[in-house]
Every structure is written in structure tokens, then in C-alpha cells.
Amino acid sequence: EGVLPQEYTIIKMELLKPFPEKFKVLEGKKVFLAAATLRPETMYGQTNAWVLPDGKYGAFEINETEVFVMAHRAALNLAYQNHSRVSEKPSCLLEVTGHDLIGLPLKSPLSLNEVIYALPMLSILMDKGTGVVTSVPSDAPDDYMALQDLKSKPAFRAKFGVKDEWVLPFEILPIIDVPPFGNKCAERVCLDMKIKSQNEKEKLAEAKRQTYLKGFNDGTMIVGEYAGRKVQEAKPLAIVYSEPEKRVMSRSG
Ligand code: A2H
């Protein structure tokens, strides 16, 4: 198998001011954690962002005013697609790790939550998308289990310096009805399959397979501008209206 292009939507999750000490060099810029998703129509249900604690990230100049925090490889991908201040070359203003990003407060397009926080997820691949993932636990089994791990295990929160208030107030939001699983399909399937943590890779792959197909084919939006419409109809509209930008990024197929 060769390399197939994978088209993602980038969700621009804006870093709220005042910036923490480490990010002061970016003052005056609009700084976003850039998350790559295949499901822009689910963005209403965002409860947090995910980063890999030991992952290496950079803050890259996209144009005169905007900075994206993402993996270096993603910055190179975007630079080749003409999304870099310097033509065909990533321009990195600051290098950080996922640990530096945990706890950052963000404002994300379409999210029903006014402010969400960056939290640790251990299954993130740094060579896929941007290395930043937006979390929709109602509809994504990986997101549901990773959030459950943080909610139910105080020691896990402590290990990564995650404060209770970044996690505990965030409820799973019903945003899409997916028969026969109901309006929190990822939660339903994870409970039915008795998945215990984000580390149960095989079970999660099966949960993803089930919810992804049904969500796309049979899902109906129940919130937002596209309430009452099929996911298949809402998805392209969400790409246009949610302010994220459509990019093509390559990955190993
Ligand atoms: B999806 P594919 Cl609601 N590491 O977005 C791990 N996972 C990553 C990632 C990375 N570096 N980059 C993106 N992803 C996730 C929403 C969503 C997603 C929902 C339901 C299913 C779903 C909210 N999270 O994906 O391997 C992102 O999660 C299930 C396939 O390129 C992205 O879309 O096919 C998806 O994986 C891309 O997966």
C-alpha cells in the first residue's frame, strides 16, 4: 500500500488570554491548537482537546497574524499546501511538549461549551493529522474512554497535573441520534462492550467501526443550525460554516 491523501478539517481552537509564561513570546498573535477531524458536524459536542503528553509540538506561523500549535510534520504538510508565513517552509516560533499544553483554556468553533481545556490522551499518533485531536465523547469511542479514564481515576489526573475543574464539570452532550444506539452512541457502545479503559485497542477499534458507519449513514443532528437534518447533509455544511479550514494532509494508507 502506498500513501493516500486523507482530507481532514482543521478545527482552530483559540488559546485564551492571558497566555501562560511559556507562551508569552506569542503575545499579539492569534494562537490556535489546530485539531484534525473527519467529523466536523460533531463539533457541537466538544468537551476538551487531546494532546500526547510526551509529543513534540511547535507553534507555527500560518500567516501574518495566526499561529497554529501542532506536530512538526503537520506544519510541513500545511507549508506545502501554501499555509505558512514562509513559502513551503514551516516557521516555528516556539517548541513545546504536550505537557506544556495540558490545561490550556480554549475557545473552539461550534462547541456548546464556552471554554474547554487541553487534556492528555495516550493513544495519539504524532504522524497523523496534526497530533492534536478535538474530543467529542458522545460520538467518538476513543474520546469517551479517555475522558472516562480522567474522570474516574484521580491518580491518573494527578499523574499529568490535570485539575478537577478541567474535567469533572464536562458532561457528555447528546448531539446526534444514531439508531439503534441513541443520542450518545459512543457511550452506549463502550458500555455495552464493557470497555474498561482507553488502552483496550481492539475493542475500541470495533466500537469505532460500529459507531462511525451508523453515525454517517443513519445519524440525525439534534442540536445546532442543522438540527433535524441527516449527518450526511450536515457534514459539508459544517465544513463551510464552522470556520475551520479544509486541508488535505497526507498519511500512510
Ligand atoms: B475524529 P483516521 Cl466524533 N491520533 O474527530 C489519534 N487520533 C487522531 C489523530 C491522531 N494524531 N488525529 C485525528 N484523530 C482522530 C472526531 C471524531 C472522530 C468523532 C468520531 C470518530 C472520529 C472527534 N474526535 O474518528 O485514522 C480524530 O477523531 C474515527 C475514525 O484518519 C479524527 O476524526 O481515519 C480521526 O481520528 C481520523 O482517523
Q: List the residue whose alpha carbon is closest to atom 24 of ligand 1.
A: 135
Residue 10 C-alpha to ligand 1 middle, in angstroms? 11
Give the domain range for residue 84.
3-252
Check residue 36 and give its pLDDT: 93
Q: Is the distance from CB of 149 to CB of 198 less than 8 angstroms?
A: yes
- Enter the C-alpha cell of residue 54: 510526551
Number of folded domains that form the chain: 1
> Quick one: pLDDT at residue 246?
42
Predicted confidence at residue 92, as pLDDT, reads 98
List residues near ligand 1 (CB under 6 A): 6, 36-39, 42, 124-125, 128-129, 131, 133-136, 139-140, 143, 208, 212
Q: Where are the alpha helices (DSSP H) in 27-104?
A: 72-80, 98-101
Nearest CA to ligand 1 atom 22: 140
Given the CA of residue 139, which atom of ligand 1 is nearest to it? 3
**Residue pair 26/19 in contact by the 8 Å Cβ criterion:** yes
- Number of residues that this document lists for the chain: 253
pLDDT value of residue 145: 98
| Closest ligand 1 atom number to CA of residue 212 | 21
How close is the Cα of 142 to the center of ligand 1, in Å? 8
Per-residue pLDDT of the chain (253 residues; tens, 9 = 90+): 456 677 788 999 999 999 999 999 999 999 999 999 989 999 999 999 999 999 999 999 999 999 999 999 999 999 988 899 999 999 999 999 999 999 999 999 999 999 999 999 999 999 999 999 999 999 999 999 999 999 999 999 999 999 999 999 999 999 999 999 999 999 999 999 999 999 999 999 999 999 998 999 999 999 998 999 999 999 877 664 444 444 444 333 2
- pLDDT at site 162: 98
Query: Which residue owns the Cα nearest ligand 1 atom 20?
Result: 140
Spacing, Cα 136 to ligand 1 middle (Å): 10
Q: Please choose, from the candidates 54, 50, 21, 24, the residue with its C-alpha nearest in 3D space to the C-alpha of residue 37.
A: 50
The dihedral built from the CA positions of residue 210, 148, 101 and 66, taken in this order, carries a sign that is: positive
For the CA of 128, the closest atom of ligand 1 is 11
**75, HSE (Cβ side, Cα atoms, 13 Å):** 25
**What ranges in 58-184 are assigned the alpha helix state H?**
72-80, 98-101, 141-152, 154-159
Whole-number Å distance, alpha carbon 24 to ligand 1 midpoint, is: 30
pTM score of the predicted model: 0.94
Instruction: Look at residue 4 in the predicted model and tell me its pLDDT.
Output: 66
Give the alpha-carbon dihedral of 230, 233, 235, 238, to 10 degrees: -110
| pLDDT (0 to 100) of residue 239 | 62
Nearest alpha carbon, ligand 1 atom 28: 37
Q: Which of 13, 39, 176, 185 should be mutated for ligand 1, with most atoms under 8 A from CB?
A: 39
Whichever domain contains 126, its CATH number is: 3.90.740.10
User: What is the ipTM metric for this complex?
Assistant: 0.98
Instruction: Give residue 188 CA to ligand 1 midpoint distance, Å.
Output: 18
Cα of 249 vs centre of ligand 1, distance in Å, is: 13
Q: Are 97 and 55 in contact (CB under 8 A)?
A: yes
Tell me what pLDDT residue 225 has: 87
